[in-house]
């Protein structure tokens, strides 16, 4: 294989990984936008989506489509319950309390998954076969196209939702100023509930579509969550388009590092980028907005 | 807390000795050694979380830098302990100082994520610098602690040594809290802007406590390395950082004694949860969630409440 083909191949796999990170980052953004909370359990939603789909499809023998839809619905319900049971009851929580609550939730979800499904790694069949497509010497799994397609779909639907619907606009209003949103009659508590549900839903979708490619086990969520967060920060927290662009940048860098340097340092790339961005461009690489939200009080 | 720091740290040391005296079983003495090591880290973390109001999810990284430095220097460079000990502390404190300056400008969730990222980077370095660290399988044969011709060759001797260090660290920390720095810290925790207005250099103060906590973690790392005599990256990952933060939070962030209680509970509890085998993580997560929902001020707040009721 010559170098050009190899680079093209690495770029393709970078784009695939990047789209997954972007999807997780969008989940972070939705909760952050309406509550200012960073949900440390975001990666677990992805893991749950994959696990539930595997369970429904492989153990209960349901066809792939209903298994996917049902598992996404179940993850959304879990997100809803999480907000009602663990976030909503807190009165004036400190940031440290919120961080620990979401960490506790991620430990609980991880523990429950291990309790139910054990420690094995599970596979899910690809949506449309494993016959790789040939693209000028490089190969592309059909599942990659599904991942890209779903990412495009989620971004489009969310953009339309936040721009055109009353509920979407109300959610955005909460992110700008909660008190003001309350004064104009927006049900802020309902919006917070909705944001957790929506974010869990997107996490669930991500889990279902990436599992045929990346496999799934109970402990897959944490690192994915961390990288998704890195992506969200890199693109500017709360910014959907930024998340997609940053996801692609991080995915490509990671893939080239793994292919050309050493696969061991692959995971360090996203983390180093995350730390550097936090130090030097805390509002993300694309814009300089309201930095006080990040470094001021 | 009207009793002197001297009295409190002696009391801690005495309690530990009593516990070890009654638990003659060497396995339990071993658990108490690990408890002492964890206590040294969480006292530093409690200063950072409870008094300076900052969070660090990378404390296992500092613990690891301390442990690996002394391990590598004694095994690969054959340096004596009195050289590797200061080297471990200096390197950790130096790293904490350099990363602390930009990191502590961040707040809340961002600070948490940045420290978490730093801890993970350290963890990856332990895994990948195979020539020095032995990579994922680690390296062993770290010599035991020996000074003035006296070797700490039994669990009990090591236990006394670790708890003497822990008591000294408690003494030192209580004195800091009762000093000018401690009062300034409380002001920063209450309201950073007001503290800055009355002339407190808030960023320098936060950095001092961050570096101090890292220094404590490196001492704990030194004690850990020469006790288990074997190091591998698994002991210094994100899981341990999170565990340390939850120890402080479960015990109560408002007091060093809260951190001690939380550390004791979460170090000893897993020994009982062994019964549940792999499912301990589920129970552990449940306990953590329950405490944060029902007693966000931590277990220690229950004692304060009882005391207040008794005084009323």
CB contact under 8 A, A294 and B121: no
CB contact under 8 A, B242 and A265: no
Closest chain A C-alpha to B50 CA, distance in angstroms:
10
Closest chain B C-alpha to A112 CA, distance in angstroms:
6
Q: Which pLDDT does position A55 carry in this prediction?
A: 93
Q: Which pLDDT does position A233 carry in this prediction?
A: 84
Which string of b and e fits A14-35 if b means at least 16 CB within 10 Å?
A: bbbbbbbbbbbbbbbbbbbbbb
Instruction: Read off the pLDDT of residues A181-208 as tens digits, 9 standing for 90 and up.
Output: 889 999 988 999 999 999 999 999 999 9
* Residue of chain B whose alpha carbon sits nearest to that of A116: B279
B238 CB neighbours in chain A (<8 A) are 222
- Chain A interface includes B283 (CB < 8 A): yes
Q: Looking at this predicted complex, what is its ipTM?
A: 0.78
Nearest to A111 among B103, B108, B281 (CB): B281
Instruction: Read off the pLDDT of residues B224-256 as tens digits, 9 standing for 90 and up.
Output: 999 998 999 988 988 889 889 888 888 888 788
Token digits of residue A46: 């992805």
B55 CB neighbours in chain A (<8 A) are 95-96, 99
Distance separating alpha carbons of residues A104 and B289, to the nearest angstrom: 5
Distance separating alpha carbons of residues A191 and A201, to the nearest angstrom: 15
- Chain A interface includes B105 (CB < 8 A): yes
Q: Which pLDDT does position B208 carry in this prediction?
A: 92
Q: B193 lies in a domain?
A: yes
CB contact under 8 A, A108 and B282: yes
Q: B285 lies in a domain?
A: no
CB contact under 8 A, A295 and B105: yes
For chain B, the domain total comes to 1
The pTM of this model reads: 0.85
**CA-based Rg of chain B, rounded to a whole angstrom?**
19
CB contact under 8 A, A93 and B296: yes
Closest chain B C-alpha to A134 CA, distance in angstroms:
34
- Give residue B47's domain range: 5-236
Identify the band that residue A3 occupies on the pLDDT scale cut at 50, 70 and 90. Answer: confident
Give the DSSP letter string of A69-136.
HHHHHHHHHHHHHHIIIIITT-SS--HHHHHHHHHHHHHHHHHHHHHHH-S--B----TT-S-PEEET
- Are the beta carbons of B142 and A296 closer than 8 angstroms? no
Q: How far apart are the first and last CA of chain A?
A: 54
**Residue A130 reports pLDDT greater than 80:** no
User: How many CB pairs lie under 8 A apart between chains A and B?
Assistant: 128
- Are the beta carbons of A158 and A22 closer than 8 angstroms? no
CB contact under 8 A, B288 and A272: no
Identify the band that residue B258 occupies on the pLDDT scale cut at 50, 70 and 90. Answer: confident
Identify the band that residue A153 occupies on the pLDDT scale cut at 50, 70 and 90. Answer: very high
Q: B260 lies in a domain?
A: no
Q: B258 lies in a domain?
A: no
Q: Which pLDDT does position A287 carry in this prediction?
A: 58
Looking at chain B from residue 244 to 263, which residues have their Cβ under 8 Å from any Cβ of chain A? 245-246, 249, 253
CB contact under 8 A, A282 and B110: yes
**Residue B75 reports pLDDT greater than 80:** yes
- Chain A interface includes B296 (CB < 8 A): yes
Tokens 């009062």: give the residue: B183
CB contact under 8 A, B285 and A110: yes
A43 CB neighbours in chain B (<8 A) are none
Distance separating alpha carbons of residues A29 and B290, to the nearest angstrom: 27
Instruction: Read off the pLDDT of residues B111-164 as tens digits, 9 standing for 90 and up.
Output: 888 898 899 899 989 988 888 888 888 888 888 887 776 777 778 888 888 999
Residues 6+ apart with CB under 8 A from B8: B1, B170, B171, B174
Q: B137 lies in a domain?
A: yes
**Residue B218 reports pLDDT greater than 60:** yes
- Are the beta carbons of B70 and B223 closer than 8 angstroms? no
* Residue of chain A whose alpha carbon sits nearest to that of B246: A100
**CA-based Rg of chain A, rounded to a whole angstrom?**
19
Distance separating alpha carbons of residues A64 and A212, to the nearest angstrom: 11
Domain ranges of chain A: 18-126+134-245
Mutation site, A35, A99, A116, A222, interface B, largest B CB count within 10 A: A99
Looking at chain B from residue 17 to 56, which residues have their Cβ under 8 Å from any Cβ of chain A? 49, 55
């Amino acid at each position: 294989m010559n170098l050009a083909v190899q680079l093209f191949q690495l770029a393709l796999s970078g784009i695939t990984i990047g789209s997954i990170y972007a999807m997780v980052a969008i989940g972070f953004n939705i909760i952050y936008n309406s509550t200012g909370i960073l949900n440390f359990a975001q990666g677990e939603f992805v893991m749950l989506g994959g696990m539930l789909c595997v369970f429904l499809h492989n153990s209960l023998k349901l066809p792939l489509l209903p298994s996917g839809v049902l598992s996404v619905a179940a993850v959304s319900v879990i997100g809803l319950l999480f907000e009602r049971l663990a976030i909503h009851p807190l009165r004036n929580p400190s940031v440290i309390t919120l961080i620990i609550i979401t960490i506790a939730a991620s430990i609980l979800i991880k523990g429950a998954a291990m309790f139910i499904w054990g420690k094995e790694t599970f596979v899910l069949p690809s949506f449309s076969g494993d016959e790789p497509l040939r693209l000028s010497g490089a190969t592309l799994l059909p599942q990659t196209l599904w991942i890209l397609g779903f990412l495009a779909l989620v971004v489009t639907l969310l953009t339309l939702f936040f721009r055109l619907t009353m509920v979407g606009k109300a959610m955005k209003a909460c992110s700008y100023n909660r008190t003001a949103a309350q004064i104009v009659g927006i049900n802020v508590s309902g919006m917070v509930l909705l944001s957790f549900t929506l974010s869990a839903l997107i996490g669930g979708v991500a889990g279902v579509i990436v599992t045929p490619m990346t496999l799934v086990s109970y402990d897959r969520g944490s690192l994915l969550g961390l990288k998704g967060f890195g992506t969200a920060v890199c693109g500017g927290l709360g910014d959907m388009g930024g998340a997609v662009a940053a996801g692609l940048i991080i995915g490509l860098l990671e893939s080239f590092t793994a292919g050309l340097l050493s696969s061991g340092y692959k995971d360090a790339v996203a983390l180093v980028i995350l730390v550097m961005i936090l130090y030097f461009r805390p509002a993300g690489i694309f814009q300089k907005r309201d930095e006080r939200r990040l470094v001021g009080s | 807390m009207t009793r002197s720091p001297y009295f409190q740290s002696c009391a801690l040391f005495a309690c530990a000795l009593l516990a070890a005296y009654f638990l003659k079983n060497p396995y339990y003495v071993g658990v108490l050694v690990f408890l002492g090591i964890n206590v040294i880290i969480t006292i530093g973390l409690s200063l950072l979380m409870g008094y300076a109001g900052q969070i660090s999810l990378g404390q296992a990284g500092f613990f690891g830098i301390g442990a690996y430095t002394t391990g590598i220097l004694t095994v690969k460079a054959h340096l004596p302990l009195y050289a590797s000990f200061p080297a471990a502390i200096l390197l950790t404190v130096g790293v904490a100082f350099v990363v602390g300056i930009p990191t502590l400008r961040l707040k809340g969730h961002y600070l948490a994520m940045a420290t978490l990222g730093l801890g993970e980077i350290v963890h990856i370095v332990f895994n990948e610098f195979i020539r020095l660290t032995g990579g994922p399988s680690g390296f062993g044969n770290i010599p035991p602690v020996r000074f003035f011709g006296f070797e700490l060759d039994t669990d009990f001797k090591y236990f006394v040594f670790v708890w003497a260090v822990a008591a000294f660290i408690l003494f030192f920390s209580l004195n800091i809290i009762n000093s000018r720095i401690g009062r300034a810290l409380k002001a920063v925790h209450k309201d950073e802007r007001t503290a800055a207005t009355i002339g407190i250099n808030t960023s320098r103060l936060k950095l001092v406590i961050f570096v101090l906590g890292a220094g404590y973690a490196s001492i704990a790392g030194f004690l850990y390395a020469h006790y288990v005599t074997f190091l591998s990256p698994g002991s210094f990952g994100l899981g341990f950082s999170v565990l340390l933060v939850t120890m402080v939070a479960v015990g109560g962030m408002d007091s060093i004694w809260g951190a001690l209680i939380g550390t004791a509970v979460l170090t000893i509890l897993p020994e009982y949860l062994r019964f549940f085998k792999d499912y301990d993580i589920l129970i552990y997560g449940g306990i953590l969630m329950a405490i944060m929902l029902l007693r966000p001020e931590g277990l220690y707040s229950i004692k304060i409440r009882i005391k207040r009721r008794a005084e009323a």
